[in-house]
Structure 1
Amino acid sequence: MTNPLQRRPHQDGRHTPNLWPVWLVATGALLLVGAAAFGLYHGAELLLSSESTVKKPVGVQDVIKTTVTVLTLIGAVLAALYAYRKQLLDEGTSHRADATQLTERYTKAAEQLGHDQAAVRLAGVYAMARLADDWPEQRQVCVDVLCAYLRMPYETDSTALAFRHGEREVRLTIIRIIRDHLQDPTAATTWCERNLDFTGATFDGGDFSRSNFSGDRVSFRRSTFSGGEVDFSRSRFCGGEVDFNSSAFSGAEVDFYGSTYSGGQVSFGDSTYSGGQVDFSRSRFAGGRVSFRRSTFSGGEVDFSSSTYSGCTVSFEDLFVQADAAIRWGPFPAIPVAQP
């Protein structure tokens, strides 16, 4: 059961100001003014009587005049409180209007993202990203929508029936916008600490270079890197969990050159490398756990040369390496792998 004497519970975001009920405030104000008037009347009478040098009774008019003066001051204070309350209510109305406008912007941007024309979808991408910057309370939701777009089925073969003209540009734009928001963790509009879910997405290009992945969870699980160049060079994986498990590197050039792994857990376990090039050269493994456990190397080239390992656990257990796979281990000690 709700207690009528309690204020409404606090709500995050834009909401009506947290005020006491009107009937309670009005009753309390009347009781307070009545008590003050009663006390002031008798107090003023005693004060004027004590200051009288003629030893004659103080006139009722003097007492009333003093009481009215003080009550006028109290009225002014109450009027100021009323004005302040009205201002808070007006601000609440403004906040609700602002929230309504943000919701309408979200709905419009989501509709644009589902449009048949690539140009309209591009406009929806920029609108959703701008909304994420303007709406901190729902920033994660906006980021989730952009990530969900990349998880949608994507046909890269231009001769296939499901191929959509302009779709690649839309997807590359989303990746670039996400990258831009992962550059500076101290920026007011940063997405560095946001969860990013690319589970099952298909990448045939994209620039994540110099990104800071520091959210609780970043998932590229079961993703496919099938062509083009996907750039993670000089990125930082520092905290939380980054999941590349069961991903397929099947023809793309995926660049992790100079990346840093300094905390949390990064897993490439159960992944397959069947073509293209994956470059981990000059990477720095300096904390946390990194796993390539049970990965399969059946073609292409994977480069770990000139990487450094200190204060971390890196697992290359149960690898399966075929003869046509080229792996450069660099200074890392010999690693036993299962031969076909």
Structure 2
Amino acid sequence: MTRWQRARWFGLAAGLAGLLGAGLLAGWFDLVDWPAAARWARPLAPGLALIIVALLFVAVGAWRALKEPSGRMRSPGLSWWVVVTAAAVVLVAVVGATHWLLSEADHANDRAAARVEAIKTGLGVGAGTAGIFALLLAVRRQIHQEHTAADVNLDAAEKRVTELYTKAADQLGSRNAAVRLAGLYALERLGKSHESQQETILNVVCAYLRMPYTPGETPTSDATPDELDRHEQNLQEAQVRLTAQRILRDHLLYGPEADGYWAGVVDLTGANIAGIDLEDTDLRWARLNGALLSRALFADADLSHASLVGADLSHANLSGADLSGADLTGADLRHANLDRADLEDTTVTRADFTDARLPAGTEIRNGLIIRA
């Protein structure tokens, strides 16, 4: 027993002692006719003893239940104290009912027949009480079976989701562009039907866009078959990446008209996503360090606290974007459109704003934002 448990028991004993002392001083016990109570209880002693024993079992069972850690899984089997308590209650019901009926039978004309009927009725009361416990046991068993079935269904659903996710992720590694497209659409469908998977799928799509990618040049007329094949593969990969970008945008849109928003931090560090369309999207705390974002569309996007260190944002449209608290250290913003952009607390150290269109009354001097 720990020190805290000992202190708790001592406190309980002190409280009971104080309550008894207050009762003695107030004369509460004088209100009871103890000799009369003893005469009343003497013939009922067996039944009262059984009731007291049953109550003790109930108290011990409740204490054991409260003592168990709440997070521990309890066994579906019946505890010993439940069985003993049920038996005690049935016995008390039989003894109590039979005693009362026998006392009433003593006043009947046919005393012997009345006593027999009293005993039968008392046993019937006991059988009825036992039937109630049997009914409660059946209800308990049914509830346990329903919970077990629910757990089995949940496990099956989780297993199904895992299988679908694994299969779709495997498809993204295929050399066939059509299979990769199918994998992206399968992941999107999985995210729509299972909200718990949305952030994970968002991370997978971002990871796919972070994969190394270099657009191929248009082959010349004397190109070899291998060069033509690589060019075809590059064109197909470009379509797959455009699909990934569309999925990303569709589920990062925010506002009253947004449908299918997926919460999560976007990580496109070092991604080659020039010209990506992310207008009106939620990119708070996004990680876009070193990303190729030239000619990207970020109009009215929320880029607050985003990290864009060393990102290429040349010719990007950031009109109306929220860049408050964003980090643009060393970013390339030449010819970028920052009209109506929120640059509150934005870090612009060593950022290149050559020929950039800044918000009205704002200019950049020595890495600092100057407002008129």
> In which range does the TM-score fall when normalised by the shorter chain?
0.7 to 0.9
Greater Cα offset, 84-93 or 46-55: 46-55
Q: Does 1:96 align with 2:164?
A: no
Question: For residues 62 and 150 of structure 1, do their structure 2 counterparts lie closer, same or farther at Cα, with a shift above 3 Å needed?
Answer: same
Partner Cα separation in structure 2 for residue 283 and residue 248 of structure 1: 18
Q: 1:112 aligns with which of 171, 181, 204?
A: 171
Greater helix content: 2
Query: What are the equivalent positions in structure 2 for 1:39-188 lying under 5 Å apart?
Result: 39-49=92-102, 54=107, 57=115, 59-158=118-217, 164-184=234-254
CA contact (8 A) 2:76 2:144 kept: no
Partner Cα separation in structure 2 for residue 87 and residue 317 of structure 1: 70
Partner Cα separation in structure 1 for residue 299 and residue 103 of structure 2: 88
Question: Which residue of the partner structure matches residue 283 of structure 1?
Answer: 341
Question: Which residue of the partner structure matches residue 246 of structure 1?
Answer: 310
Partner Cα separation in structure 2 for residue 50 and residue 237 of structure 1: 87
Partner Cα separation in structure 2 for residue 45 and residue 213 of structure 1: 78
3-state secondary structure, aligned to 2:101:
helix
Question: Which residue of the partner structure matches residue 260 of structure 1?
Answer: 322
3-state secondary structure, aligned to 2:239:
helix
Shift of 1:303: 1.0
CA contact (8 A) 1:283 1:307 kept: no
**Structure number, greater radius of gyration:** 2
Gaps of 5+ in 2: 1-66, 220-226
Shift of 1:210: 0.8
Shift of 1:317: 6.0
3-state secondary structure, aligned to 2:235:
coil
Question: Which residue of the partner structure matches residue 350 of structure 2?
Answer: 294
CA contact (8 A) 2:329 2:348 kept: yes
Question: For residues 316 and 33 of structure 1, do their structure 2 counterparts lie closer, same or farther at Cα, with a shift above 3 Å needed?
Answer: farther
Greater strand content: 1
Q: 1:210 aligns with which of 247, 272, 280?
A: 280
CA contact (8 A) 1:257 1:282 kept: yes
Shift of 1:140: 2.2
Shift of 1:181: 1.5
Shift of 1:34: 1.8
Gaps of 5+ in 1: 10-18, 309-314, 321-328, 334-340
Relative to the length of structure 2, the TM-score reads 0.68
How many residues get paired? 289
The AA in structure 1 aligned to 2:293 is F
Shift of 1:60: 2.2
Question: Which residue of the partner structure matches residue 224 of structure 1?
Answer: 292
Partner Cα separation in structure 2 for residue 171 and residue 272 of structure 1: 23
CA contact (8 A) 1:257 1:283 kept: yes
Question: Which residue of the partner structure matches residue 305 of structure 1?
Answer: 359
Q: Does 1:30 align with 2:83?
A: yes
Partner Cα separation in structure 2 for residue 28 and residue 158 of structure 1: 81
Partner Cα separation in structure 2 for residue 159 and residue 124 of structure 1: 28
Shift of 1:137: 3.0
Shift of 1:53: 7.3
Partner Cα separation in structure 2 for residue 43 and residue 233 of structure 1: 83
